[in-house]
């Protein structure tokens, strides 16, 4: 029997607002849109469907305090283009003490941090793409 992560849970004051941000940021769909729980997941039939954990946004009256202990890392093909797109969606750049690094730390509309990595070197990207294209769910 295999074990899989079903969802990553994010407490937030406005789950709909945060869910809409992440759905747009990831190109995923909102599959449940009713307070107190909103669900964002890969589109049905996509390679990520049933493989990647869903994101579950749960309404909470508590404000976020401190740095996240768990965050997402995004790895786009073009870091600068992706950062601009995410900023247009409502993300902001934040400093969590990372110093001068090749990644950029950002926060979603409620302040949940995530990182935007630089692109993989061409050889690493080619191998990742080969494996991604070869994947066929059972």
Q: DSSP assignment of the chain, as one string?
A: ------EEEEEES-HHHHHHHHHHHHT-EEEEEETTEEEEEPPTTSTTTTTSPEEEEEE-SSPP-S--SS-EEE--S-HHHHHHHHHHHT-EE--SS--S-SSEEEE-TT--EEEEPPPPPHHHHHHHHHHHHH----
Domain membership flag for residue 67: yes
What's the CA gap between 103 and 73, in Å, rounded? 9
Question: How many domains is the chain built from?
Answer: 1
Rounded mean pLDDT of the chain? 91
Quote the pLDDT of residue 1: 54
Q: Judge whether 123 lies within some domain.
A: yes
The values of phi and psi at residue 32, to 5°, are -145, 125
Mean pLDDT of 103-124: 92
Identify whether 104 is part of a domain. yes
- 100: pLDDT confidence band, cut at 50, 70 and 90? very high
Task: Answer for the pair 107, 91: CB distance below 8 angstroms, yes or no.
Answer: yes
97 band by pLDDT with thresholds 50, 70 and 90: very high
User: Would you say residue 63 lies in a domain?
Assistant: yes
Residue 17 CA to chain centroid, in angstroms?
A: 14
Q: Is 33 part of a structural domain of the chain?
A: yes
Residue 118: which CATH number? 3.10.180.10
Most confident of 45-54, 96-105, 120-129: 96-105
Please indicate, yes or no, if residue 39 is contained in any of the structural domains: yes
The domain in which residue 57 lies consists of 7-134
User: Using one digit for the tens of pLDDT, what is the confidence trace for 60-92?
Assistant: 998 888 888 899 999 999 999 999 999 999 999
Domain assignment present for 44: yes
pLDDT, one tens digit per residue, over 14-43 is 999 999 999 999 999 999 999 999 999 999
**CB-neighbour burial class of residue 41 (10 A; exposed 0-12, middle 13-18, buried 19+):** buried
The answer to whether position 56 is within a domain reads yes
Alpha-carbon distances, residue 5 vs 13, 51, 136 (angstroms): 24, 9, 19
């Amino acid at each position: 029997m295999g074990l899989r992560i079903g969802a990553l849970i994010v407490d937030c004051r406005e789950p709909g607002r945060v869910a809409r941000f992440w759905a747009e940021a990831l190109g995923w769909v909102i599959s449940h849109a009713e307070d107190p729980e909103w669900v964002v997941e890969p589109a049905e039939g996509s390679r990520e469907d049933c493989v990647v954990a869903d994101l579950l946004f749960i309404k909470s009256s508590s404000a976020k305090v401190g740095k996240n202990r768990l965050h997402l890392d995004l790895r786009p093909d073009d870091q600068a283009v992706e950062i601009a797109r995410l900023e247009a969606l409502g993300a902001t750049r934040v400093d969590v003490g990372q110093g001068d690094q090749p990644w950029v730390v950002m926060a979603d509309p409620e302040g949940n941090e995530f990182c935007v990595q630089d692109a993989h070197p061409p050889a690493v990207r080619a191998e990742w793409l080969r494996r991604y294209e070869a994947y066929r769910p059972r």
